[in-house]
Structure 1
Amino acid sequence: MNQQTNTSSFYKKTFMLLFVLSLLLAAIAALYIKLTVIPALPDVNTLKNIQLQTPMSVYSRDGLLIAKFGEKKRIPTQYENVPSTQIKAFLAAEDKDFFQHSGVDFIGLVRAAGQLILTGEKKQGGSTITMQVARNFFLTKEKTYIRKIREILLSFIIENQLSKQEILTLYLNKIYLGHRSYGIAAAAQVYYNSSLEELSLAQQAMIAGLPKAPSAFNPITNPERALTRRNYVLNRLLKLNYITQSDFDQAIAEPISAGLYSASVQLEAPYVAEMVRNEVYNMYGDEIYSNGMHVYTTLESSHQRAANQAVKKALHQYDRRHGYRGVLGHINLDEINLTDFDTSLLSSYQKIGETEPAIVISLSKDSLQAITSDNKTIDITWENLKWASPYINENAQGKQPKTPSDILAAGNIIRIRQQPDSETFELAQVPNVSGAFVSMDPTDGALTALVGGYDFYSGKFNRAYQAKRQPGSGFKPILYAAALSKGYTPATLINDAPVVFNDAGLERQWRPENYSGKFFGPTRLR
């Protein structure tokens, strides 16, 4: 009996000792948090006026997008502009109790901690959307207990300072969703070339499944795992009664439709965009890539489009007059399946300017058929082939062809060009020459259009801005205008006679000549 009493007394004392020690440790921890952790927490109020990193955008005078410059692709959006099904998809995937909890899901944390203790692996997340906001805006990626405590404390403060809608807006604009896209609006543009309002339910679920692992569940690089994750989100939406069975059935049957898209440029003016980027960078430095600056140029979109078309048309016409320089390569058609064409056969031949690669698959007496790099079969008529006399040199061409087979053979890899505002294709080649175009408003000197070469992406040298060409006859209108302003008329006689200038810098004389090498004496101004 005494032994049982002693044993019971021992356990009671041990329990009391452990209880007191636990209270003491808890008090010490609380004191440490109060004196050390809390004072070091960042000011949550900064979230109310947070400046998210967004690229610099360049526009024409009439507001058309020319280019974006920045490391992060982000299109800030407001809560009221996000479709309700998109919000529900994120809640279903990340935090179904977001609108009920006070920032921390303690049950989820305990569940995740238990999983970690039992298996040594973190298979379940315990972070709420609020905790992710705290982590993404204020904390590093280090995995320590102190950081987790900071995250929990910040979450409580954020919930106290901001509304649920404000927290969700911060989250949806900040999260990384793969391929340099930050925020849901940027992801919609990058993966689907769409606005948020244009996304289907299946596409919304795909985007909502990305925050957990943007690389592992990426629809571009890991389509199978992405499909599994998307279907998980759709099942969660159905289970939580966020969508109907009919909505679910339609979305689950939808195939993956994601692609990889760049910003939707509305006006092609890359040479001007680069001039702007360089000028603004010299003024403000690296901050231009992240401060969301909007730069409006003096370009007139109608002028710029006309200039783009005029330069390309003139260069192609000039190049064609000098003959066809031959095919890019050859493929044995007997070794490929034309009914299931492998477009990777053309992957080493890039689209340049208005030209793209294609493979000739058949020829007739007055046309040919070819397959393009996007697996489209096209016809080119003799009218758009007959120009291709063989190039010999810049002053000579070979015999004029009479049939397509005089120029090409089946299996040839060629370049084609779709004629502007037409479904017609022609045999083409990348011009061996380039050109430039500048249009200015005579009243104030503002640029209304500028083209610096045939294709900016093949060579960024800007012939309109960097070439420093002699103006030649292009200066004559300026000279004649000055003469007219001085009282000269078209009938005024000017003596076309030799003149000599002494150049002290070069210690020689300069004797300008007419192109013909002759002088014609008194000549009317016109």
Structure 2
Amino acid sequence: MAKALKILFLLGLFGALCAAGITYGIYYSVKDKIPTVDELKDIELRIPLRIYTADNQLIGEFGDQRRTPINYAEIPLDLENAILSAEDTNFYHHPGVDVFGLGRAVVQLITTGQKQGGGSTITMQVARNYFLSFEQTFTRKFTEIFISLKMERELTKHEILELYVNKIYLGNRAYGFEAAAQVYYDKSLAELDLAQLAMIAGLPKAPSRYNPVANPSRALIRRNWILQRMLSLGMIDKEAYQTAVEAPITAKNHGVTPDIEAGYIAEMVRSELYSTFGDDLYSTGMTVYTTIDSGRQKAANTAVSNGVLNYDARHGYRGPIETRIDLVEASLEEQQDVLKNISGFEDWETALVIATDEKTASVRLSDGKQTTLVWDAIKWAKPYIDEDYQGKMPVTVGDVLVPGDIIRLRPDSELGWKLTQKPKVQTALISLNSKDGAIQALVGGFNYYENKFNRITQSKRQPGSNFKPFVYASALSRGYTAASIINDAPVVFNDSSLASAWRPTNDGGKFYGPTRLRQALYRSQNIVSVRLLDELGIRPTLDFLRRFGFDPDELPHNLSLSLGSANLSPLQIATGYAVFSNGGYQVQPYLINEIIDRNNETLFQANPVTVCVTCTALEKTTDDETQMGLFDTIGGIRSLPIAPQVLDPEVNYIIYDMMRDVIKYGTGRRALVLSRDDIAGKTGTTNDGRDAWFSGFNGDIVTSVWSGFDNSSPLGRGEWGGSVSLPPWIDYMRYALQGSESSFVPKPSSLVTVRIDPKTGERSLPGQADAIFEIFRKDNVPPERNLNLPMQNNILGNESQEEKQENNALENLF
């Protein structure tokens, strides 16, 4: 007996030694994969880049893993209990490895030849998710066990559970339970009820199989099993169980839902930061706060959308989508498949016309529901011929739609649905705080997801007459006045930089004769602008234009400059107009206000150059500083917090006052609907109406709008800056200015107002009935006139006798 016991002892000892040797051998082979203590305690989750407006509304998120980390204290008790009941009931009592669970898994593997599961604890799942791959090998499993044992020695149970809750994959790009709550329920964990918490607690086992959106029946079985486990373990009472198990499935795929549509802005930020951070940008948990005002951005979105759709409707209906459906041959299921496969815009619907009568049409939507289109939703659809011509107005629905047509509809507050079509024209809008350059709203085109080309920053188009105020400012700076006379008569220029003799004309071909500069600006007279630049000289004017942020090397070096032939972006134009708006100071547009890291530490804080009218000394800028880009260098600040004064305040105010007349009497008269006396602006339309602009401002805000086709096709007969771009500007500014006091550009006390003769620009005679008031710089006030002396010519701008003879000859010629 003793001998037998001795043999058994030796065999046991040998077995133990063998087991220890095998264990050490396995440990030695995998030890390099076991993380250090520091690595265990310094685990970083992959957190996406998030971009917000200035008032904390989400604009966009970039990263392959959607994650919102939480700490243990933020984990709802019902969620913790649901996780433990589903994944690891013994979590708080084992050392990281459940020996009995592993034993069961081994027996299942031996008896069935297949891995049945059940052996992994929560700690082991954390080890696998953070430090290992998901390959099905024994080596990986042993490594997982060793890491789990070490984690249990170095971390508390709460720390391990916190890692699990934040790391585990739960389907639909959601990593962690907080992200899953947002993806499936569009709520935070704290807002979910017991049934919803049990539903997402069932996802770790198989996120695709138990996905409540893709497989609701399986997900329901899994949820109710977890609830039953919670009841049997005493984690919930019978009443809570019954309420939860009877609850319907409410999960949907909410994905990443921005609070506000601003795709162009999000991409601008992402692109700029990627050049600095590379791929780390998408995983290091940076949060960016922009300068965007969410209310103004929404207003800009609506203004651009309405402007584009109104233009598109004016030019006629291009017909249904090319694909047609045979209502007899195609089954209902086939019809729905066709509709669902046609791309559309958010909130729009793709619909099938199934019947028509004289004034209504019955249509089936992509979800299978039927609705009726009333005549008011259809009657706009004159047949499109080209951008200049449309067919006759329809009389009946049959003139527009026939059964089998696939059409697009957009929601309408009064009509329910309205017939529409994908527009081809584009409009872009940018709005700045003129005091510091903060971009408050930006829309780069009609729909970012349809076309990601950002026309605010990436497109350079001719501004046309929108550029004229800069040339006029140059003239006022060199002694011209708003009353200076330029002869608006036909003229021929033989400019060596132009291909042939140039005969500029006014829109409509009309000539006004001797014209004051104020009139010429609000009438947008081309001849006056060209003659003015000819008198000023091209080189001095180009040098002057640096003050508005323009690079002379990028501008035409010929007289066409006066008519806005330069290729400039709306961002550049808005930046130039900001000088007029803020009293003559140069600011730089910027979009990123603050960047913080995952630990809420500030990585970058904007320090923009800002208008300071009370500062006694203004620092001068270097050429490099005046040409600063859209964004500052990450981690640094701008070297000049005080915006440099680049335009004499007297000149600036006179230009502002002249542009107020553009709205009172000129091409911007539609803006009178805003009933604001502080706004000023200028339209712009290029040759053949290929580009249409309106830029306008008051003393605080400047907004520029461009419209046109990306291929530079003409906008069509009767379309101008005042008809295409001014309406969106009005719609946006109506919101932006609502409730605000008038903000006039400051008027220097040194300016002088005198009465002048409106025909000659001279000082008016005493008692002259048609005299008008004009504003002058003190040194440019016209001298008083004596009734006994002949009228004096205004030297600046009046023609010589030879010029008059030449122009009279040209008038006869034309």
Instruction: Give me the TM-score of the superposition, normalised by structure 1.
Output: 0.88
Q: Tell me if 1:168 matches 2:161.
A: yes
One-letter identity of the residue aligned with 1:493: I
The more displaced of 409-418 and 447-456 is 409-418
The more displaced of 166-175 and 96-105 is 96-105
Evaluate the alpha carbon distance shift between residue 269 and residue 488 of structure 1 in structure 2; reply closer, same or farther with a 3 A threshold. farther
One-letter identity of the residue aligned with 2:161: L
Question: Does the 8 A contact of 1:45 with 1:161 survive in 2?
Answer: no
One-letter identity of the residue aligned with 1:431: P
Partner of residue 67 from structure 1, selected from 36, 60, 66: 60
Structure 1 residue 32: deviation in Å? 4.5
Structure 1 residue 519: deviation in Å? 6.0
Write the distance in 1 (CA, Å) between the matches of 2:347 and 2:197.
35
CA offset digits 1:370-403 (Å, max 9, x no partner): 3322344444332222111122222222222122
- For 2:181, what is the secondary structure of its paired residue? helix
1:286-305 superposed matches below 5 A? 286-305=279-298
Question: Does the 8 A contact of 2:492 with 2:501 survive in 1?
Answer: no
Evaluate the alpha carbon distance shift between residue 341 and residue 146 of structure 1 in structure 2; reply closer, same or farther with a 3 A threshold. closer
Per the alignment, residue 51 of structure 2 pairs with 58
Evaluate the alpha carbon distance shift between residue 150 and residue 501 of structure 1 in structure 2; reply closer, same or farther with a 3 A threshold. same
Per the alignment, residue 78 of structure 2 pairs with 85
One-letter identity of the residue aligned with 1:55: P
Partner of residue 141 from structure 2, selected from 131, 144, 148: 148
Evaluate the alpha carbon distance shift between residue 345 and residue 509 of structure 1 in structure 2; reply closer, same or farther with a 3 A threshold. closer
Q: Tell me if 1:514 matches 2:505.
A: yes
Q: Tell me if 1:185 matches 2:185.
A: no
Write the distance in 2 (CA, Å) between the matches of 1:68 and 1:396.
44
1:453-464 superposed matches below 5 A? 453-464=445-456
CA offset digits 1:48-83 (Å, max 9, x no partner): 342211111111122211111111111112222222
Q: Tell me if 1:249 matches 2:242.
A: yes
Structure 1 residue 199: deviation in Å? 2.5
Evaluate the alpha carbon distance shift between residue 354 and residue 140 of structure 1 in structure 2; reply closer, same or farther with a 3 A threshold. closer
Partner of residue 274 from structure 1, selected from 267, 283, 287: 267
Evaluate the alpha carbon distance shift between residue 361 and residue 215 of structure 1 in structure 2; reply closer, same or farther with a 3 A threshold. same
One-letter identity of the residue aligned with 2:437: G
- For 1:357, what is the secondary structure of its paired residue? strand
CA offset digits 1:330-377 (Å, max 9, x no partner): 434456788x99743411222226532112344444333433223444
Write the distance in 2 (CA, Å) between the matches of 1:223 and 1:457.
30
Structure 1 residue 40: deviation in Å? 5.9
Partner of residue 371 from structure 1, selected from 356, 364, 367: 364
Write the distance in 2 (CA, Å) between the matches of 1:269 and 1:277.
12
Q: Tell me if 1:157 matches 2:150.
A: yes
Question: Does the 8 A contact of 2:33 with 2:143 survive in 1?
Answer: no
Structure 1 residue 257: deviation in Å? 3.1
Write the distance in 2 (CA, Å) between the matches of 1:452 and 1:510.
38
Structure 1 residue 521: deviation in Å? 5.1
Structure 1 residue 316: deviation in Å? 0.9
1:326-365 superposed matches below 5 A? 326-328=319-321, 329-333=323-327, 343-352=336-345, 355-365=348-358
Evaluate the alpha carbon distance shift between residue 301 and residue 422 of structure 1 in structure 2; reply closer, same or farther with a 3 A threshold. farther
Q: Tell me if 1:236 matches 2:257.
A: no
Evaluate the alpha carbon distance shift between residue 321 and residue 37 of structure 1 in structure 2; reply closer, same or farther with a 3 A threshold. closer
Evaluate the alpha carbon distance shift between residue 27 and residue 273 of structure 1 in structure 2; reply closer, same or farther with a 3 A threshold. closer
1:114-513 superposed matches below 5 A? 114-328=107-321, 329-333=323-327, 343-352=336-345, 355-419=348-412, 424-484=416-476, 488-496=480-488, 497-503=491-497, 508=499, 511=502, 513=504
One-letter identity of the residue aligned with 1:450: L
The more displaced of 490-499 and 80-89 is 490-499
Write the distance in 2 (CA, Å) between the matches of 1:140 and 1:357.
44
The higher-RCO structure (CA 8 Å, 6+ apart) is 1
One-letter identity of the residue aligned with 2:54: R
Write the distance in 2 (CA, Å) between the matches of 1:467 and 1:111.
66
Write the distance in 2 (CA, Å) between the matches of 1:139 and 1:439.
50
Evaluate the alpha carbon distance shift between residue 365 and residue 493 of structure 1 in structure 2; reply closer, same or farther with a 3 A threshold. same
- For 1:159, what is the secondary structure of its paired residue? helix
CA offset digits 1:474-499 (Å, max 9, x no partner): 22344445555666543222344554
Write the distance in 2 (CA, Å) between the matches of 1:352 and 1:40.
49
Question: Does the 8 A contact of 1:77 with 1:185 survive in 2?
Answer: yes
Per the alignment, residue 109 of structure 1 pairs with 102
Question: Does the 8 A contact of 1:355 with 1:430 survive in 2?
Answer: no
Write the distance in 1 (CA, Å) between the matches of 2:70 and 2:303.
39
The more displaced of 460-469 and 221-230 is 221-230
Write the distance in 2 (CA, Å) between the matches of 1:102 and 1:337.
61
Question: Does the 8 A contact of 2:316 with 2:381 survive in 1?
Answer: yes
Instruction: Give me the TM-score of the superposition, normalised by structure 2.
Output: 0.59
Question: Does the 8 A contact of 1:358 with 1:371 survive in 2?
Answer: yes
Write the distance in 2 (CA, Å) between the matches of 1:59 and 1:510.
54
Question: Does the 8 A contact of 1:498 with 1:519 survive in 2?
Answer: no
CA offset digits 1:485-521 (Å, max 9, x no partner): 6665432223445545433xx8x56747234467655
Evaluate the alpha carbon distance shift between residue 443 and residue 154 of structure 1 in structure 2; reply closer, same or farther with a 3 A threshold. same
Write the distance in 2 (CA, Å) between the matches of 1:145 and 1:24.
21
Write the distance in 2 (CA, Å) between the matches of 1:209 and 1:353.
32
Evaluate the alpha carbon distance shift between residue 161 and residue 370 of structure 1 in structure 2; reply closer, same or farther with a 3 A threshold. same
- For 2:442, what is the secondary structure of its paired residue? strand
User: Identity, % of aligned pairs?
Assistant: 48
Question: Does the 8 A contact of 1:350 with 1:356 survive in 2?
Answer: no
Write the distance in 1 (CA, Å) between the matches of 2:355 and 2:462.
48
Write the distance in 1 (CA, Å) between the matches of 2:443 and 2:185.
30
Per the alignment, residue 43 of structure 1 pairs with 36
- For 1:127, what is the secondary structure of its paired residue? coil
Write the distance in 1 (CA, Å) between the matches of 2:361 and 2:23.
82
Structure 1 residue 35: deviation in Å? 6.4
Write the distance in 2 (CA, Å) between the matches of 1:90 and 1:373.
39
One-letter identity of the residue aligned with 2:443: V
Question: Does the 8 A contact of 2:374 with 2:415 survive in 1?
Answer: no
Structure 1 residue 434: deviation in Å? 1.7
One-letter identity of the residue aligned with 1:283: T
Equivalent residues, number: 514
Evaluate the alpha carbon distance shift between residue 418 and residue 36 of structure 1 in structure 2; reply closer, same or farther with a 3 A threshold. closer
Question: Does the 8 A contact of 2:172 with 2:255 survive in 1?
Answer: no
Write the distance in 2 (CA, Å) between the matches of 1:423 and 1:99.
61
Write the distance in 2 (CA, Å) between the matches of 1:303 and 1:489.
37
Give ranges in structure 2 of 5+ residues lacking alignment.
519-814
One-letter identity of the residue aligned with 2:325: I
Structure 1 residue 93: deviation in Å? 0.5
Evaluate the alpha carbon distance shift between residue 518 and residue 342 of structure 1 in structure 2; reply closer, same or farther with a 3 A threshold. closer
One-letter identity of the residue aligned with 2:452: K
Evaluate the alpha carbon distance shift between residue 323 and residue 484 of structure 1 in structure 2; reply closer, same or farther with a 3 A threshold. same
- For 1:186, what is the secondary structure of its paired residue? helix
- For 2:342, what is the secondary structure of its paired residue? coil
One-letter identity of the residue aligned with 1:522: P
Give ranges in structure 1 of 5+ residues lacking alignment.
none
One-letter identity of the residue aligned with 2:496: N
Write the distance in 2 (CA, Å) between the matches of 1:385 and 1:152.
69
